[in-house]
Homo-oligomer: A and B are copies of this chain.
Amino acid sequence: MNFDYSPKVQEMQARLLAFFDAHIYPNEARFHEEVEANRRNGNAWVPTTVIEELKPLARKAGLWNLFLPKSSRAPEGLSNLEYAPLCEIMGRVTWAAEVFNCSAPDTGNMETIERYGSEAQKTEWLEPLLRGDFRSAFLMTEPAVASSDATNIECRIERVGDEYVINGTKWWSSGAGDPRCAIYVVMGKTNPEAGRHEQQSMVLVPANTPGVRVIRPLTVYGYDDAPHGHMEVELKNVRVPVGNILLGEGRGFEIAQGRLGPGRIHHCMRSIGAAERALELMCERAIARTAFGKTLAQQTVTQERIAEARCMIEQARLLTLKAAYMMDTVGNKVAKAEIAMIKIVAPNMALQVIDWAVQVFGGMGVSGDTPLAIMWAHQRTLRLADGPDEVHRNSLAKLELAKHMRLPGGEVRMPITRGS
């Protein structure tokens, strides 16, 4: 057992932090101003020049596709445990990950194609994604049903000759707002009569296929998150070649499970980065702000929250790093409890820390003058994305209860009597 980051990780952290100091933080206001200007000019759904300018710098600094696990394509690829602390840093600024080609859902889609795609699919879609030439979306969640239960999914993928015909409505298709979004990974049912977990399949659907219609952007507490966005998308008699299926018919659930692990680590580490940033802002503000003759930092009620925030962040980080370690060493099946735990813990922790920070900032905290409000809104979605907390808590509890199922009748083994 050892709690130090490896020298390699420490070096990369230093490099990434330096990049943030040089290029990300100084452009933080500019990003939002640019999007706002685009919006005022009638179309916020265009890529920002700021991110496009920064991408070549990141690539040059060797900070490109960091998420990519070691493989033939990435002989220098990082392990989950190595990438996690870098991902945390990226979480400090909501839009930063894209600069390093490390933003969701592209990373998950790239991993999916890398892991489950055919060579033809990799050449056509993975390569340009890795180069950052275009972007992608993941069409899973549906407005009409509780999609955390995959058997509820209504989108149909029917084979007709050499094509799949797809019909369904999806929403929360993040990234589909970006005009560069070229490819969708679509989850639907090829066989509703099959076993619970063999009904689903995933197919690759180019965004410009006839029948695809982006209905509208959804908002998250008033934010449209342009130009990335979260879209409602209609698929009406959309036809793709049968070669566009991933892995094979009925394997959609299996792929969905397989892609979960690393994505969870990424999301959770970014949540931790957001929480660290919020705590930092909270401390700075508490030091600078005076009310009733004392700085907020001198009030024990502020101190209590700062201390609790620090305790919560440290614990969530260690748990996420352990989950990453287990994924690297024993795989995400064995690590499933830990992967469920971080999904529950990290966003809830970040929401609490950010909310305390908002309170210290007063009215400024709920406004656009700090990153806190948008961070909070983003974290709030993570209690729902990939299934609500409740679903993960139930899964985790069942794993825990299963340890005790073999005991005779749940007998309490060592009853004691009254006494000291």
Contacts and interface: CB of A to CB of B under 8 A. Distances in A.
Interface of A: 1-6, 9, 25-26, 28-29, 31-33, 35-36, 39, 44, 81, 94-95, 141, 143, 145-146, 148-149, 152, 171-172, 217-228, 279-281, 283-292, 296-297, 299-304, 306-308, 310-311, 314-316, 318-319, 321-322, 325-326, 329, 337-338, 340-341, 344-345, 358-359, 362-371, 373-374, 376-377, 380-381, 383-385, 388-394, 396-398, 400-401, 403-405, 407, 409-420
A219 B420 contact: no
Contacts of A392: 307
In this complex, which of A143, A171, A304, A380 has the most chain B Cβ atoms within 10 angstroms of its Cβ?
A: A304
A221 B303 contact: no
Nearest to A288: B410
Given A221-B221, A315-B315, A416 B369 contact: yes
A199 B129 CA distance: 63
Given A219-B368, A292-B149, A367-B220, A420 B374 contact: yes
Contacts of A228: 420
Contacts of A304: 301, 390, 393-394, 397
Contact of A401 (B286, B368, B412): B286
Given A222-B373, A359-B388, A384-B363, A414 B29 contact: yes
A334 B345 CA distance: 27
B396 A307 contact: yes
A291 B148 contact: yes
B370 A152 contact: no
Give the residue among A224, A318, A363, A385 with the most B Cβ atoms within 10 A: A363
A365 B384 contact: yes
A357 to B, nearest CB: 10
Per assembly, the copies of the chain total: 4
Given A152-B290, A223-B221, A36 B419 contact: yes
A194 to B, nearest CB: 18
Q: Is the interface of A mostly helix, strand, loop or mixed?
A: helix
A341 B307 CA distance: 8
B369 A404 contact: no
A307 to B, nearest CB: 4
Contact of A225 (B307, B400, B420): B420
A355 to B, nearest CB: 8
A311 B400 contact: no
Given A5-B1, A344-B311, A345-B315, A371 B416 contact: yes
A390 B219 contact: no
Contacts of A416: 28-29, 31-32, 368-371, 374
Given A1-B325, A290-B152, A280 B404 contact: yes
A307 B364 CA distance: 25
Given A225-B420, A390-B304, A319 B315 contact: yes
A307 B394 contact: yes
Given A148-B362, A222-B373, A307-B393, 17 more contacts: A1-B321, A4-B329, A35-B419, A146-B362, A152-B291, A218-B418, A220-B373, A224-B418, A288-B410, A288-B411, A299-B390, A301-B304, A301-B390, A304-B394, A359-B390, A368-B419, A370-B416
A94 B171 CA distance: 26
B367 A397 contact: no
